[in-house]
Structure 1
Amino acid sequence: MNHQKITPCLWVEKDAQAVAEYYLSIFKDGKLKDYRKMENPPNEFSSDASTFETAVMEIAGMEFSILAAGPMFKFNEAVSFVVNCKDQAEVDYYWDALTKNGGEEGVCGWCKDKYGLSWQVVPVEYFELIHSDNTEVREKALQNTFKQKKLILSELK
């Protein structure tokens, strides 16, 4: 039973199971909790009965619902997820995994995966740097953030 109060729902065009498997291939500690294919009666979007799929996955201890119900809605940068990484090696892993096979690099640690979902891949030490009481440390980290795509911790220090 899920005790998570809020569950993000990711609307994708098709193949909820493939989408779940994609994210589970990146976040190794995850699991597919449910998958269903259902029939949708005729409605305001379509006069024909159609099918849609749902999946529920858990990654990094957080449950996500996936709804594969057609191309009506697309991801955009208004919603994104932050991946808090313990070190540069973990940043490199998630950055590479999320940007390959059709993903794209952004700036300041932001990227999109192959479905267009936005992520910010950040070493946790980054937050210590940008919130430092030392003005020089804080300013260097912030200025170098704007010069980078993938965050390189050694260049932020």
Structure 2
Amino acid sequence: MTVKSRISTCLWFDDDGEAAANFYVSLFPCSRIVSVTRYGDGALMPKGTAMLTRFELDGASLAALNGGPHFKLTEAASLVALCDTQAEIDRLWSALTANGGAPSRCGWLKDRFGLSWQIIPSMLDEAMADPARAARVMSAVMQMSKIDLAAIEHAAKG
């Protein structure tokens, strides 16, 4: 039996939540816009502007709220994309840092909408499980902006 989660993440945007959601679903397989609720007459935003865009990213349920300039996205919350290959890391990194996005350190970046992401290899938890390997892996990761999967694998092997 498939159980649908009743927990979802809501991301606050000034006025470009629908554009952000459409961009994000274009990047990940098994992703889609679920629904868009629009503002009506006399609302916070002009009539017809998206108020809440519900979407799924590779099975994760999220919502993008256009709520105006009252709250800003920060690095205190980020989306984590687990990648199996360097090609997948490279593709997501390029797309998410394009058009005003900004790279950070250790696989972190901020996209053009201001949302923070961690683009990391799916094998990272396993590589960090052994304390002896963890120190080497962490040392390698701390030198990186975009993750270099081969360098992490090399550090894990010692």
Alpha-carbon contact 1:111-1:120 (below 8 Å) kept: yes
DSSP 3-state at the match of 1:50: coil
Q: Distance in 2 between matches of 1:16 and 1:154?
A: 35
The DSSP-based 3-state class of the residue aligned with 2:52 is strand
> Partners of 2:81 and 2:6 in 1: how far apart?
20
2:101 aligned with 1:103: yes
- Aligned residue in 2 for 1:50: 44
Distance 1:92 1:61 in 2: 22
Give distance in 2, aligned partners of 1:11 and 1:116.
Answer: 10
1:128-147 equivalences under 5 Å are: 128-132=126-130, 135=132, 137-147=133-143
User: Structure 1 residues 72, 29: closer, same or farther in 2, change over 3 A?
Assistant: same
Runs of 4+ in 1 over 3 A off after TM superposition: none
Whole-angstrom CA distance in 1 between matches of 2:90 and 2:118: 12
The residue aligned with 2:73 is 75
**Distance apart, 1:127 and its partner CA:** 1.9
Which stretch shows the higher mean deviation, 104-113 or 23-32? Answer: 23-32
Instruction: Name the aligned partner's letter for residue 99 of structure 2.
Output: N
Q: Which amino acid aligns with 2:39?
A: M
Which position in structure 2 is the counterpart of 1:46?
Answer: none
- The share of aligned pairs that are identical, in percent, is 33
Unpaired segments ≥5 residues, structure 2? none
TM-score by length of 2: 0.85
Residue 148 in structure 1 maps to residue 148 in structure 2: no
TM score, norm. by length of structure 1 = 0.85
Residues in 1 aligned to 2:29 and 2:68: alpha-carbon distance in whole angstroms: 28
- Structure 1 position 20, deviation (Å): 1.5
Structure 1 residues not aligned, in runs of 5+: 42-48
Amino acid paired to 2:80: V
Are the equivalent residues in 2 in contact too, given 1:32–1:57 (CA < 8 A)? yes
Q: 1:96 to 1:148 in 2, by over 3 A?
A: same
- Matched to 2:77, the amino acid is V
Where 1:57 maps in the other structure, the secondary structure is strand
RMSD: 1.8
Amino acid at match of 1:104: A
